Chains A and B, each alone.
Chain A
Amino acid sequence: MYRSIFYKEWLKIRWALALFLLLGLIVLGNIFLNVRYGVRFMDAHDYWYRIIIQGANYAASLKYIPLLAGLGLAIAQYFPEIVSQRIKLTFHLPIRENKVLLIQHGFGLVCLLAVFATYLLVFIIGSAVYFPPEIIHMMLTTILPWFLGGLAAYSLAALIMLEPLWLYRVLYAVIAYGFVTQFYIRVVPLAYTKVLWVFALMAVITVIVILFSGYRFRKGEMHHG
């Protein structure tokens, strides 16, 4: 049963995953081309000064890529389920309804994490060419909330898409917007260090909210709309 569910989810999301993996790698490639240009062809001393003293973020163009990936993956995974209320087929499978939702959402989450891990790995390797570990650590602390925001956006988009009523969808979307923007407030590097665990906790909590939409769907809320 699990393998079948993974298979179905994979069929839905594989192209979106490949697309966002590619997009992220292109953006990362662009980032390191710029860094290379800054270090080699401009004044390297000045470039380092801007990063270490002035807190310039050389990875800024990566900021919304995890968010886009999270949203894109949620659409790829859940849009086919809500067209013609196909989620009924999923709920009808011989497995508990909450369990099947968590399994398919968990699978999507693992795939998204794999894409994010690839981004981060490339980012670390690329950064190691030009910067010392201290700067890489500082940059990771700065960009990690963007990735956590991408995870939260993925789960919240799933909540919104599976919700049966448009009114609630709009309401959730407004709340989700306020919630997700917290991960992207512009702050200087290292300012996140002490609250990183709060962001992580916020992202983790959103994983289970999909169960609420599933419950409302099975209660038949769309028929009362």
Chain B
Amino acid sequence: MNSMYAIECNNLTHYYGKKLVYENLSFKVGEGKILGLLGKNGAGKSTTINIMNGFLHPTAGECLIYGENSQHLTPATKEKIGFLIEGHIQYAFMNVHQIEKFYSGCYSRWNSEPYWELLSKLQVTPTQKISRMSCGQRSQVALGLILAQDPQLLVLDDFSMGLDPGYRRLFIDYLREYAKANNKTVFVTSHIIQDMERLIDDVLIMDYNRILAQQPVEEFMEKFCQYEIVLENPDMEFPETDLAVNIEQINDKVSFYGYQDISAVKGFLSGQGIAIRSIEEKEMNLEDAFIGLTGMY
């Protein structure tokens, strides 16, 4: 079956026992897109990744990968997916040559060049087992193997874990260029959100039980705003309002997050009779916006 979407999750609902993870979660990832899944710990990122990779049956709904139900992927479709397991898990009992030999026999499009290129920068001996490598070295082995597999869809679960800042930056830039040049689809999670801004086209932000935002990252960053309001009366408790998705108050300083323009916020303040000393729109990066949207706690 052909699908214009690499990933299509429809009405996913999942419970762990009686605990609801989410209900009717739907999202699509078009071919050639790079989507970042963001969410706090426990928001359901791993649940989604596990369902997508066929390691968890959802309570209801389905997740299609290239039009096939992720619970019953054919070998041909699995060949098209490169999967980086959280923690860069690999067959650690092998050394770098053994693991390359193993995987090269599994994938018809195997191209070992990017793998050896990545590994040439590592100080590892040919017989050194992966289990005896540092976290950063292991991550590069796992990433190199995925690049050598040359998949159409890359599912990278917390790829930045254990990477040094410089290498993280290098990898992100390389990955974006590689994905765009070769029309690869990338589904990525990372707990380091500042990385994502350089990498992703679309953002999917999850909170407990629901999706908070799902749109192109540029559009999200353009529409989602933070206003810093300084109140006249520091003892005043700022009122709840539907105009804000989140309000953080420390004494007289209020951070007001929402999708409204500044005139709408000013209108709300005067309508409520809230005396302010100043209101100013603040520049945000993706991490600021994520915290603004999901709250600090």
Please list the residues of chain A having a beta carbon within 8 angstroms of any beta carbon in chain B: 1, 3-4, 7-8, 11-12, 80, 83-86, 88-89, 91-96, 217-220, 223-224
Contacts and interface: CB of A to CB of B under 8 A. Distances in A.
Contacts of B50: 220, 223
A94 B56 contact: no
Contacts of A88: 53, 55, 83, 85, 89
B17 interface: yes
A8 B91 contact: yes
Question: In terms of DSSP, what is the predominant structure of the interface of chain A?
Answer: helix
Nearest to B98: A11
Contact of A7 (B47, B87, B105): B105
A1 B93 contact: no
Interface residues of B, number: 32
Residue among B55, B71, B83, B85 having the largest count of chain A Cβ atoms under 10 Å: B55
Given A4-B105, A88-B53, A223-B50, A95 B89 contact: no
Contacts of A85: 85, 89
B11 interface: no
B91 A89 contact: yes
Nearest to A95: B75
B79 A92 contact: no
Given A220-B55, A220-B57, 5 more contacts: A4-B102, A80-B93, A85-B89, A92-B53, A92-B83
B99 to A, nearest CB: 9
23 contacts: A4-B104, A4-B106, A8-B102, A80-B91, A84-B89, A85-B85, A86-B90, A88-B83, A88-B85, A89-B83, A89-B85, A89-B91, A91-B54, A92-B78, A92-B83, A93-B106, A94-B75, A95-B78, A218-B55, A219-B57, A220-B55, A220-B57, A224-B16
Residue among A84, A88, A219, A220 having the largest count of chain B Cβ atoms under 10 Å: A220
B180 to A, nearest CB: 25
Contacts of A223: 16, 47, 50, 56
Interface of B: 16-17, 47, 50, 53-57, 71, 75-76, 78-79, 81, 83, 85, 87, 89-94, 98, 101-107
B93 A11 contact: yes
Nearest to B57: A219
A88 B90 CA distance: 10
A73 to B, nearest CB: 15
Contacts of B105: 1, 3-4, 7
A47 B98 CA distance: 53
B153 to A, nearest CB: 12
A29 B44 CA distance: 59
B103 to A, nearest CB: 7
A85 B78 CA distance: 18
Contact of A11 (B47, B90, B94): B94
Given A7-B105, A11-B98, A86 B89 contact: yes
A84 B92 CA distance: 10
Contacts of B91: 8, 80, 86, 89
Nearest to A81: B91
Given A89-B85, A94-B76, A218 B106 contact: no
A120 to B, nearest CB: 30
